[in-house]
Amino acid sequence: MKKFCLFIFCLLSILFLKAQQTFQQDQKMNKFIKDLMSKMTLDEKIGQLNLVTPGGAVTGSVVSKDVDAKIRNGQVGGIFGINGPDQIRQAQDIAVKNSRLHIPLFFGLDVIHGHRTIFPIPLGLSCSWDIPMIQQSAHIAATEAAADGLNWVYSPMVDIARDPRWGRIAEGSGEDPYLGSQIAAAMVRGYQGNDLTANNTVMACVKHYALYGAAEAGRDYNTVDMSRIKMMQYYLPPYKAAVDAGVGSVMSSFNEVDGIPATANHFLLTEVLRNQWGFKGFVVSDYTSVSEMINHGTGDLQTVSAQALKAGLDMDMVAEGFLTTLKKSLQEGKVTQKDIDDACRRVLEAKYKMGLFDDAYRHDDTQCAATSILTDSNRLAARQFAEHSFVLLKNSNNILPLKKSGTIALIGPLADNQRNMLGTWNIRGQYNEDVTVIQGIKNIAGSDVNVLYAKGSNISDDSMLVTNINNFAKQIDVDSRTPQQMIDEAVATANKADVVVACLGEAADMTGEASSMSDIRLQQCQRNLLQALLSTGKPVVVVLFNGRPMILGWENKNVNAMLDVWFPGTEAGNAIADVLFGSYNPSGKLSTTFPQNVGQIPIYYNHKNTGRPLNPGDGHKFKSDYLDVTNEPLYPFGYGLSYTSFTFSDPVLSKTTISGTEGLTATVTVSNTGNYDGEEVVQLYLHDKVASITPPVKELKGFQKIFLKKGETKQVVFNINHSDLMFYGKDLQLVAEPGEFEVMTGPNSRDVRMTTFTLK
Ligand code: NOJ
């Protein structure tokens, strides 16, 4: 008892001292910023709200002009899109040496999945379900970005997406709010660390707030209309998790939400973000999303800029609506001095917290860049992260792992393709540093393996698609041979081999921004190639490159094995070869549902039951289903195979009845019953059987990634807390209602075992 009291006393003292320290630091900051702002003119205050590019187009039209002069005149708060410490230093020099008040600039960039060492695309990383690893990926990215002079990154992107036609599904963590929230928080911790003034951390910017992933028909920038309960329950949690983890900035999204563009949406930017969640940082718009409100139809530039500021937007990315109209709006009483001051203060506070007033060049050191970027250890990490992100979709007769002997025919447009290994967003990544599949296989296979190669087809023969992709970046190399000549060569090559490894899929920019697709099958020329390869009778392993779930029913039925490698990054080929030859046993699990056909979209595991669910054994008539396809996806959320096999016990609960805010545990026994050591992601889902808001059929509430040696058995214990039983009720408050709950555990969202408990 005495010891316990002492412990509590120490704990309270530490908390008190910490609170006192924070209070003193805040007071110091407040005084500094108050003094600074008292010297600022109105124009200089508005200048801090202006974010520019160095004068080129980044992800939209070129707007930023006369950038150096603007910095000198105090009309710029930050720049993004500058490459390298030297140029950054030059721009910072103008701000801190030549502007009247010497206020330093932010330097931002889209560092999305690695900076120079590129990791798998975020959708791929999310399939690792490995939260410490994802945090580490952000930490390495921060170290490289900071060494390159940057202090601000536009990541994590946490938009929940249920529509694989939407190209930007590649940039996020899939469809689930629980998994997405864990990843969002981990990335913020990885980028920001514990100290934003350290020289290996950068300020994160969670985006795109909010609901960008729910664009109608999966078409980029499209309209979003959603009930508040749905947004609170399924779409907003990852943004909130980033805020709870202390993210320094938030980016508003391009889309409208319920008729009001997100960039001027008071409900989102002020009521939810600041008032409910207590966000203390600043909000930046997306690229020209202020001026795009003119197209949305909510007013001219002056009107929309005032709307945005009043709604809670602090910084205008590129549109210069704030810069050119806020003064007039103040004179006309459309915004107040306080509106401008609040936004300016938030921007300055962020600079203060980053230590930029003490050392504006903290992140800018050419020597550091030379020694911290693309190091051997970062490349090794990229290789390991990639291996953990791959999802084994099919492996009949254990054709994988491949033997290190015999002849392998490596076929396909992505087998020897350095240009397309990195995926979307790799601004500083350089594709000529990537390891291709053929290189990787040769590095790993050893001299007993004879590797033959044929391209077999282009990534696409669709001229509209090829033009749209290649106009931006030449990623689809159109061969001078006819499709038939390429197929003939591929078939002749396959005929000489023991096994065919077909590297198929998308070009890097077939997903990402402005890369929505209405047909998400493999391109016709690749399907023709695959059909020809299958007709040789040789076993065919597909290595699939993709930034989205694809329609793969035919492939799933006909090929022997399929490994989804997403876009693996700098170390692509080595990581793929490691997995194909079994140096690493795949453990990835899908973070998005793969539909059977495009007509099933949106399809997601945490759907509602409807009043007419199709239960097993039911006839079709008058049920919620389709005439021409079943309701099941091709691969469910959480799915992914291993070279070994695992068995799961039923979940065993510590209690079958709980009351008040009591919790309970669920224990599952998992055994590795196959022939390889391996990792398994043990998943826990809950279903509230009766509730005042119609509940989803199941929701992920926990997962643990465990390693089991061949023959080993482990018990996995999940805590189920009161908060796990809560949902957003009619008044948008979280509630847990008494009644029966189903607890489901298993290796994916479909193959679960179930038990129940009651909340009194
Ligand atoms: C537009 C994109 O939507 C956003 O994700 C990105 O951070 C900005 N452009 C800046 O490049």
Question: Is the CB–ligand 1 distance for residue 513 below 6 Å?
Answer: yes
Residues 63, 161, single domain; the answer is yes
Residues 338, 383, single domain; the answer is no
Where residue 686 sits, what CATH number does that domain have? 2.60.40.10
Residues 333, 393, single domain; the answer is no
Nearest ligand 1 atom to the CA of 212 is 3
Q: Ligand 1 centroid to 251 CA: how many Å?
A: 9
Residues 220, 365, single domain; the answer is yes
Output the CA torsion sign for 150, 421, 61, 263: negative
CA distance readout (Å), 414 to 462, 542, 557? 17, 11, 22
Give residue for tokens 């008044």.
731
Asked whether the whole model's pTM tops 0.85, one would answer: yes
Cα 210 from Cα 233, distance rounded (Å):
13
Residues 71, 186, single domain; the answer is yes
Specify if 611 maps to a domain. no
Specify if 36 maps to a domain. no
Specify if 606 maps to a domain. no
Question: Is the CB–ligand 1 distance for residue 601 below 6 Å?
Answer: no
Under DSSP, the state recorded for 57 is -
Residues 662, 735, single domain; the answer is yes
Residues 155, 70, single domain; the answer is yes
- Counting ligand 1 atoms within 8 A of each CB, the residue from 52, 59, 203 with the most, and so the one to mutate, is 59
Q: Ligand 1 centroid to 288 CA: how many Å?
A: 10
Q: Work out how many domains the chain is built from and give that number.
A: 3
Max CA pair span of the chain: 84
Q: Which residues are catalytic?
A: 286
- Give residue 511's Cα distance to chain centre: 13
Specify if 42 maps to a domain. no
Which residue has its alpha carbon closest to ligand 1 atom 3? Answer: 286
Question: Is the CB–ligand 1 distance for residue 514 below 6 Å?
Answer: no
Q: Which of these three, 548, 563, 592, is where a domain ends?
A: 592
Q: Ligand 1 centroid to 260 CA: how many Å?
A: 20
Residues 532, 490, single domain; the answer is yes
Where residue 124 sits, what CATH number does that domain have? 3.20.20.300
Q: Within a 10 A sphere around the Cβ of 16, how many other Cβ atoms?
A: 10
Question: Is the CB–ligand 1 distance for residue 207 below 6 Å?
Answer: yes
User: 339: helix, coil or strand?
Assistant: helix
Give residue for tokens 């957003």.
728
- Going by their DSSP bridges, the two strands 652-653 and 449-454 should be labelled as unpaired
Q: Ligand 1 centroid to 754 CA: how many Å?
A: 43
**Letter for the amino acid at 612?**
R
Cα 599 from Cα 440, distance rounded (Å):
37
Q: Which of these three, 369, 392, 427, is where a domain ends?
A: 369
Specify if 624 maps to a domain. no
Question: Is the CB–ligand 1 distance for residue 286 below 6 Å?
Answer: yes
Q: Ligand 1 centroid to 327 CA: how many Å?
A: 27
Q: Beginning with the edge strand found earlier in the chain, give each strand of the sheet holding 316-317 in spatial order.
A: 152-153, 106-109, 78-80, 50-52, 316-317
- Counting ligand 1 atoms within 8 A of each CB, the residue from 61, 109, 154, 168 with the most, and so the one to mutate, is 154
Question: Is the CB–ligand 1 distance for residue 154 below 6 Å?
Answer: yes
Residues 335, 387, single domain; the answer is no
Spans of the chain, pLDDT less than 50 = none
Query: Do 727 and 233 contact (CB within 8 A), yes or no?
Result: yes
Using one digit for the tens of pLDDT, what is the confidence trace for 229-275?
Answer: 999 999 999 999 999 999 999 999 999 999 999 999 999 999 999 99
Residues 337, 400, single domain; the answer is no
User: 422: helix, coil or strand?
Assistant: coil
Q: Ligand 1 centroid to 562 CA: how many Å?
A: 33
Q: Which of these three, 562, 592, 622, is where a domain ends?
A: 592
Specify if 609 maps to a domain. no
Question: Is the CB–ligand 1 distance for residue 506 below 6 Å?
Answer: no
User: Cβ neighbours of residue 240 under 8 Å, at least 6 residues apart?
Assistant: 181, 277
- Residue 684 structural domain: 644-759
Residues 357, 389, single domain; the answer is no
CA distance readout (Å), 124 to 199, 258, 452, 567, 638? 28, 31, 28, 7, 13
Where residue 563 sits, what CATH number does that domain have? 3.40.50.1700
Residue 1: per-residue pLDDT: 61
Specify if 19 maps to a domain. no
- Counting ligand 1 atoms within 8 A of each CB, the residue from 61, 287, 289 with the most, and so the one to mutate, is 287
Backbone angles phi, psi at 705, to 5 degrees: -95, 120
- Counting ligand 1 atoms within 8 A of each CB, the residue from 58, 79, 205, 286 with the most, and so the one to mutate, is 286
Nearest ligand 1 atom to the CA of 58 is 11
Q: Ligand 1 centroid to 79 CA: how many Å?
A: 13
Q: Ligand 1 centroid to 425 CA: how many Å?
A: 10
Question: Is the CB–ligand 1 distance for residue 110 below 6 Å?
Answer: yes
Question: Is the CB–ligand 1 distance for residue 58 below 6 Å?
Answer: yes
Question: Is the CB–ligand 1 distance for residue 427 below 6 Å?
Answer: no
Query: Do 96 and 104 contact (CB within 8 A), yes or no?
Result: yes
Residues 304, 348, single domain; the answer is yes
Which residue has its alpha carbon closest to ligand 1 atom 10? Answer: 287
Specify if 614 maps to a domain. no
**Letter for the amino acid at 580?**
L
